[in-house]
């Protein structure tokens, strides 16, 4: 079965760090583009970051310099290292398979994890 | 950044109704547009990719159209399970951006 399972969320103080994980099954993370998308409580969806199959990475301006996307090919797992966390980073974080590598699918996110909640508060 | 504007922000409709949601991009995005459905407490679900292609497993009452800057999502005959929030998303250029969402409620 093709699925993504996030973990690592929790309550963290402002300025702290957290690493989210996204374990994939049924497909290979390193052969796909993978993104993180977040959703603040009661708000809409916000794209955070993407890692290409070739290793290139891109970030939203709101997290650039603070967050780092990476993957462990041996574990078939995607990560998001979040540093210098702020209250406005409070959200459910989803990992998603980004179909940008398939020209016919035009960058749609076709597989999503269930999400992990990150709360930044003192 | 490309701004995605959905309308309406919310709509009330009845089972069996035809509903159309629009999404306008602030600049041309060709067909780099997707539509998602999200229910409370759940992850978004892909409905339409490349503006008009139906994702596998999605009922045929969902359809998408448009190219360039103007796009629509149509639900031909609402079913009880369709009441949810719908988002459009552009992937033409970074940063990837979503519309603000359209909440579809039962009348």
Confidence of residue A103 (pLDDT cuts 50, 70, 90): confident
3-state class (DSSP) for residue A100: helix
Mean pLDDT of B72-81: 96
A120 Cβ contact partners less than 8 Å away, ≥ 6 residues apart = A12, A13, A14, A16, A85, A86, A87, A88, A89, A90
Tell me the chain A residues in contact with residue B44 when contact means C-beta distances shorter than 8 Å. 37, 45, 94, 109, 112
Q: What whole-number distance in Å separates Cα of residue A17 and Cα of residue A13?
A: 8
Task: Map tokens 């996030």 to a residue.
Answer: A6
Q: How large a percentage of chain B has pLDDT more than 90?
A: 98
Q: What is the pLDDT of residues A45-94, one digit of tens each?
A: 999 999 999 999 999 999 999 999 999 999 999 999 999 999 999 999 99
Q: What is the pLDDT at residue A7?
A: 98
On chain B, the residues whose CB falls within 8 A of the CB of A45 are 36, 38, 44, 87, 89, 98, 101
What average pLDDT score do residues A30-52 get?
97
Which residue among B43, B49, B87 places its CB closest to the CB of A106?
B49
Edge-first strand listing for the sheet containing B4-7: B4-7, B19-25, B70-75, B62-67
Half-sphere exposure of A118 (CA within 13 A, CB side): 32
Contact with chain B for residue A86, Cβ under 8 A: no
Q: What is the pLDDT of residue A100?
A: 84
Q: What is the per-residue pLDDT across B44-76, written as a single tens digit (0 to 9) for each? A: 999 999 999 999 999 999 999 999 999 999 999
Q: Given pLDDT bands bounded at 50, 70 and 90, which one contains residue A24?
A: very high
pLDDT band at B14 (very low <50, low <70, confident <90, very high): very high
pLDDT value of residue A4: 98
Judge if the upstream peptide bond of residue B95 is cis by omega within 30 degrees of 0: yes
Are A48 and A35 in contact by the 8 Å Cβ rule? The answer is yes
Cα atoms in the 13 Å half-sphere on the side-chain side of B55: 19
Q: What is the pLDDT of residue A101?
A: 82
């Amino acid at each position: 079965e093709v699925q993504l399972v996030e973990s690592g969320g929790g309550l963290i103080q402002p300025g702290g760090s957290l690493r989210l994980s996204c374990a994939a099954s049924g497909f290979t993370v390193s052969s796909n583009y993978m993104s993180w998308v977040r959703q603040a409580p009661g708000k809409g969806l916000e794209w955070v970051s993407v890692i290409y199959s070739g290793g290139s990475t891109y970030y939203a301006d709101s997290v650039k310099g603070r967050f780092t996307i990476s993957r462990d090919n041996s574990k078939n797992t995607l990560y998001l290292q979040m540093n210098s966390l702020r209250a406005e980073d409070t959200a459910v974080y989803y990992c998603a398979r980004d179909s940008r590598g398939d020209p016919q699918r035009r960058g749609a996110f076709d597989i999503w994890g269930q999400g992990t909640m990150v709360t930044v508060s003192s | 950044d490309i701004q995605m504007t959905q309308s309406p922000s919310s709509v009330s409709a009845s089972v069996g109704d035809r509903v159309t949601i629009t999404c306008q991009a602030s600049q041309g995005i060709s067909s780099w547009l997707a539509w998602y459905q999200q229910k409370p407490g759940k992850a978004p679900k892909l409905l339409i990719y490349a503006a008009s292609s139906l994702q596998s497993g999605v009922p045929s009452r969902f359809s998408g159209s448009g190219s360039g800057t103007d796009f629509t999502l149509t639900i031909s005959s609402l079913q009880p399970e369709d009441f949810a929030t719908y988002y459009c998303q552009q992937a033409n250029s970074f940063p990837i951006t979503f519309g603000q969402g359209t909440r579809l409620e039962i009348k």
